[in-house]
Amino acid sequence: MLKISKLVKRYGNGDPVLKDLDLTVESESIVAIIGASGAGKSTLLRCINRLVEPTAGKIDLNGVDLTALRGAQLRHARRRIGMIFQGFNLVDRLTVMENVQSGRLGYIPLWRAVMRRYPKQDIRRAYELMERVGIAHYANKRADALSGGERQRVGVVRALMQEPEILLADEPTASLDPKTSEQIMELLRSLSREFSLPVLINIHNVAEAKTYADRIVGMRYGRIIFDAEPDALDAAAMDEIYAGTPAEERAEAGAAETLQAQTA
């Protein structure tokens, strides 16, 4: 379980990007975070895995306060936090297998990674997971030869190779076409159930959030202003979350019908 208490993130002397934020994510659930650009969604995810240092507050993952960790303890904790990126973050010149094995870098000696001498059990596990997501036949193919959906599946397997206690996904479908986006969201939902994994997704597409998430969290100006099941996300809630947002962004987020009603 992930439990965030009174989380604050401030850059310099400016206003906080995250303001006393509280959030709990249970196991085997998908929580979608929505909100306009600048709401603090990506900062929240990056505070959890300490890619961004929180200014104050506590982030507890299964009894471990991540904000209190330093050095080797922090590196060990990060191994159990899988991250799926919008831009895939693959090494294009490496094969799918090599990219997938990068998820084991926190577990194996550096010389094994440099020499590409991966343990047999890691290779076996990689093939199992690649088969599970439908990319095992690309194991020896370079990453830059894959489509966007295939590249994102590599990113998902890489995260699973970490044996994570939670998956964080930062706009995982933003670079994909609609059909592929649905496939990736369905994959994340099924993997959450299969591995009893909590999945926290920063997502701009509200329609996808309502279809695939168990719970939706709406953010505005660094605060959570909505937290409920997808069916509760009505026009009034959307209006509150996206109030003052440019029309283009509201429409892209799936709020076009609200905007149209306002201007009618």
What ranges do the domains of the chain cover?
27-53+69-80+170-264, 89-163
Provide, rounded to the nearest whole percent, the portion of the chain with pLDDT above 90: 78
Residue 172, number of CB atoms within 10 A of its CB: 26
In terms of Cβ atoms closer than 10 Å to its own Cβ (0-12, 13-18, 19+), residue 104 is buried
Cβ(103)–Cβ(161) below 8 Å: yes
> What is the rounded average pLDDT of the residues 50-60?
95
> What is the rounded average pLDDT of the residues 123-141?
96
What is the model's pLDDT at position 253?
Answer: 62
Closest-CA residue to 209 (of 223, 219, 222): 219
DSSP code at position 95:
B
User: Tokens representing 151?
Assistant: 């590249």
Predicted confidence (pLDDT) at residue 259 exceeds the cutoff of 60: no
Average model confidence (pLDDT) across the chain: 90
What is the model's pLDDT at position 243?
Answer: 84
Q: At what angle do helices 148-160 and 120-133 cross, to 10 degrees?
A: 140
Q: What is the pLDDT of residues 91-117, one digit of tens each?
A: 999 999 999 999 998 877 777 877 778
* Cβ burial 205-241 (10 Å sphere, 16+ → b, else e): bbebbbebbbbbbbbbbbbbebbeeeeebeeebbeeb
What is the model's pLDDT at position 215?
Answer: 96
What is the model's pLDDT at position 105?
Answer: 86
> What is the rounded average pLDDT of the residues 75-102?
92
> What is the rounded average pLDDT of the residues 71-98?
92
The overall longest dimension of the chain from CA atoms, in Å, is 65
The pLDDT confidence band at residue 247, using thresholds 50, 70 and 90, is low
| Region of poorest pLDDT, from 80-84, 105-109, 144-148, 178-182 | 105-109
3-state secondary structure 97-166: HHHHHHHHCCCCCHHHHHHCCCCHHHHHHHHHHHHHHCCHHHCCCEHHHCCHHHHHHHHHHHHHCCCCCE
> What is the rounded average pLDDT of the residues 117-137?
94
Pairwise pLDDT comparison (225 vs 12), residue with the higher score: 225
What is the model's pLDDT at position 13?
Answer: 87
Pairwise pLDDT comparison (250 vs 156), residue with the higher score: 156
The pLDDT confidence band at residue 252, using thresholds 50, 70 and 90, is low
The whole model's pTM is what? 0.88
> What is the rounded average pLDDT of the residues 229-249?
84
What is the model's pLDDT at position 228?
Answer: 96
Q: What is the pLDDT of residues 179-199, one digit of tens each?
A: 999 999 999 999 999 999 999
The strand pairing partners of 2, in sequence order, are: 25, 61
Which CATH code is given to the segment(s) 27-53+69-80+170-264? Answer: 3.40.50.300
The pLDDT confidence band at residue 28, using thresholds 50, 70 and 90, is confident
H-state helical runs in the chain: 41-48, 71-78, 96-101, 110-115, 120-133, 148-160, 178-194, 206-212, 235-242, 247-252, 256-263
What is the model's pLDDT at position 87?
Answer: 86
